[in-house]
Amino acid sequence: MVMGMPVNRLAVPMLVLLILAMMVLPLPTLMLDVLLTLNIALAMIVLLVSLNARRPLDFSVFPTVLLLTTLLRLSLNVASTRIILMHGQTGPDAAGKVIESFGSFLVGGNIAVGFVVFLILVIINFVVITKGAGRIAEVAARFTLDSMPGKQLAVDADLNAGFINDVEARTRRNEISREADFYGAMDGASKFVRGDAIAGMIILVVNLVGGVAIGLLQHKLGIGEAIGRYALLTVGDGLVTQIPALIISTAAGIVVSRASSEQDLSREFSTQIFGQPHTLYVAAAVLGVLGLIPGTPHLAFLTIASVLGGLALWLSRRQRAQLEAEPLGLIEEVATPVDVTWDDIPPVDVLALEVGYRLISLVDRNQGGEALTRITEARRRFATDMGLVVPLIRVRDNLDLKPNSYRITLKGVDVAHGEMPSGQVLALDMGDVLGRIDGAPGMDPLSGLGGVWIETGREEEAELRGFVVLTAAELIARQVEMVFRQHAPELLGRVEVQQLLNTLTRSHPGLVEDVTPRHLPLTSVQAVLQQLIAENVSIRDSRTLFETLAARAPNNQLIDDLVETVRAALGRSIVDRLFEGSNALHVIGLAAATETRLMNEMGDEGEALLSPATLDALNDAAERAIAEQENAGYPPVLLTSPSLRAILSRLLRRNLPRMAVIAYAEVPADKVVQVSTELDMGGNA
């Protein structure tokens, strides 16, 4: 530890600072030898890691490694150039033993050969490996970015279908993002190696020209002697840095061209290339024939042919032995029946979608699963709108259904079903279409609007006439959305409430504890939230909701009273949703005679004492008021006193779900209320 910081966190910053320092500070020849050797060793390590990586992301730090190794080679070039130009006149070991060995031993002291080898290495590195690896990284980055939305939707579809959990979905999304970042970084990092090759050629020229000039002018050497000394050091310096550069470039090419696999490259190479004996037999036969032709190198051809033939024979015997050694499958014994236990009872899914076999492609993640994607989008919209995360919808095929049929179950009970005409889509009439279109009548399950079924291929014709075209996948998703919007209170169970409380606890510590369990049990909190959801009130503003409960619950734990108090606190949100942000609220008012009649009949017992005649009259009057209000272009919202709001909402919700009932206390002070329609039971006594 250094000042409370782990040493491994300081390693990379210290390495970068040392690399930069080498460009400025002079190095002794012994240190230069050590660093040049370390550079070669580091290149070999990087190459071996790239060979053993099973997928590119296993070496995700490679772009940064590529930058650091390039920077290290350039700093070593600068350090060696300084030593060559300052002490090159002293002899071939002026820049250390490593540069001397590369200049003398590897090319036999022949300067011309050294220059040619250096240029060939630069061409191989620059033109072949680096250019190819850069192109692969560029294409891979483009394809990865293009496929990223589809991969994200596939993860959402798997999560929606229940194939994976939230943790695995988060991991897969993170991996998709890392993959895109990796190939994008590799696309740019490949330019480092290309620039390094160009810099190597420039440094070669600088060392040669500068060294010869210094030898002639400062040290009074002859032209031949100056060229001999400085050229040998220059070639050695170029080779000792270009060979690691070539190794690193090879590693980059291997990484970007590597496909994800469960095996390392060596195992895949041996399995896929040398794993089929018949290919080796053919190769051995061809080489054997070539070896028998007069004038060819018989020894080389026949030797390799013999080796390949022997390898093929060994592989054939090995594969045959493995097949013979495989044990036969055991005959299954008839299991003895066991008693039924609680574990044998399959759990009931909260929401489930079952489809016939012709609709499987719409919910199969391997075939696109367009319906799953649409359902996920609907769940996200509903969560954003109402503040409630719908439980995962279990999707399965059901051979008992008709091929084009589907059904949606809520806690094991069929709540919606339908059938999709084969090869047809629904053209939805939004009310402003131009002309009619032939087809069987149909209906949008979510909005209730009518339409016609048309053949696939006539979508453009329908859209030109103003119809909105819905595919089978969209219709199934809208049917599912209709189900969880209609049955939202039933989807808000204790598990979902607890998840909401956990989320609120993380963002507002202490607020939840002031409500539950201090003053209200969890069941009471669940009941309040369910009533709000049932009346289409969003619980997304959970902070205001629980602050209101925390203030009210110590004095009153009645669910109905708590709901009305919370509604008043959320009044601005409720009114804004109903009137879409308008300042003028055109509402349905309750006639004074009607209000008096309702209050007198109910007394202290509430709506339980209302007579059937009064209920029928109330429903009839509400239907007339809704029709009049909608004809005037206003939303069907009934404004009443707080004492009647909850009762009227319960009475009208079953038969007239379109009508919203709000109380005076829910209307913000800056809104202007105008009674445009009156709900009057009149003579319907």
User: For residue 516, is pLDDT > 70?
Assistant: yes
Residue 163's nearest CA partner among 401, 398, 376, 399 is: 376
The pLDDT value given to residue 272: 62
Rg (CA), the chain: 40
Share of the chain above pLDDT 70, in %: 80
User: For residue 407, is pLDDT > 90?
Assistant: yes
User: For residue 262, is pLDDT > 70?
Assistant: no
User: For residue 636, is pLDDT > 90?
Assistant: yes
- At 326-344, the pLDDT tens digits run 444 443 444 555 566 776 6
The pLDDT value given to residue 566: 92
The pLDDT value given to residue 1: 42
Confidence of residue 640 (pLDDT cuts 50, 70, 90): very high
* Under 8 Å between Cβ of 218 and 204: no
Confidence of residue 529 (pLDDT cuts 50, 70, 90): very high
Q: What architecture is domain 490-679?
A: Orthogonal Bundle (1.10)
The pLDDT value given to residue 556: 85
Separation between Cα atoms, residue 514 and residue 530, nearest integer Å: 20
Separation between Cα atoms, residue 143 and residue 556, nearest integer Å: 61
* Under 8 Å between Cβ of 315 and 280: yes
Confidence of residue 569 (pLDDT cuts 50, 70, 90): very high
- Three-class secondary structure of residue 580 per DSSP: coil
Least confident of 101-105, 114-118, 243-247, 385-389: 101-105
User: For residue 261, is pLDDT > 50?
Assistant: no
341: left (phi over 0), alpha (psi -120 to 50) or beta: beta
How many CB atoms lie under 10 A from the CB of residue 177? 13
pTM of the model: 0.52
- At 4-28, the pLDDT tens digits run 445 556 667 777 777 777 777 777 7
User: For residue 106, is pLDDT > 70?
Assistant: no
Share of the chain above pLDDT 90, in %: 13
Residue 671 is classified by DSSP as P
Q: Tokens 């009508």 belong to which residue?
A: 659
Highest mean pLDDT pick, 247-251, 362-366, 580-584 = 580-584
Least confident of 90-104, 227-241, 332-346: 332-346
User: For residue 536, is pLDDT > 60?
Assistant: yes
- At 160-178, the pLDDT tens digits run 666 677 777 778 778 777 7
- At 389-399, the pLDDT tens digits run 888 888 888 88
User: Comparing 316 with 656, which gets the higher pLDDT?
Assistant: 656
User: For residue 2, is pLDDT > 50?
Assistant: no
Could you write out the DSSP letters of every residue in 134-200? Answer: HHHHHHHHHHHHHHHHHHHHHHHHHHHHTSS-HHHHHHHHHHHHHHHHHHHHHHHHHHHHHHHHHHH
Highest mean pLDDT pick, 166-170, 346-350, 641-645 = 641-645
Tell me which amino acid residue 600 is.
N
**Mean pLDDT value of segment 243-264:** 68
User: Comparing 316 with 474, which gets the higher pLDDT?
Assistant: 474
- The domain segmentation of the chain, as residue ranges, is 21-139+187-258, 279-320, 351-488, 490-679
The pLDDT value given to residue 264: 54
Separation between Cα atoms, residue 681 and residue 591, nearest integer Å: 8
Please state, rounded to an integer, the average pLDDT across all residues of the chain.
79
The pLDDT value given to residue 112: 72
Could you write out the DSSP letters of every residue in 428-470? Answer: E--S--SS---SEEEE-TTT--EEEEEETT-HHHHHHTTPEEE
Q: What architecture is domain 351-488?
A: 3-Layer(aba) Sandwich (3.40)
* Under 8 Å between Cβ of 546 and 512: yes
The pLDDT value given to residue 111: 66
The pLDDT value given to residue 642: 87
User: For residue 237, is pLDDT > 80?
Assistant: no
Confidence of residue 606 (pLDDT cuts 50, 70, 90): low
The pLDDT value given to residue 408: 92
**Mean pLDDT value of segment 404-424:** 90
Q: Give the side-chain half-sphere CA count within 13 A for 100.
A: 14
**Mean pLDDT value of segment 202-227:** 75
> Which phi and psi angles does 638 have, rounded to 5°?
-100, 125
* Under 8 Å between Cβ of 115 and 235: yes
Highest mean pLDDT pick, 46-60, 62-76, 446-460 = 446-460
* Under 8 Å between Cβ of 110 and 228: no
DSSP bridge partners of 450: 443
Torsion of CA 476, 477, 480, 482, to 10 degrees: -100
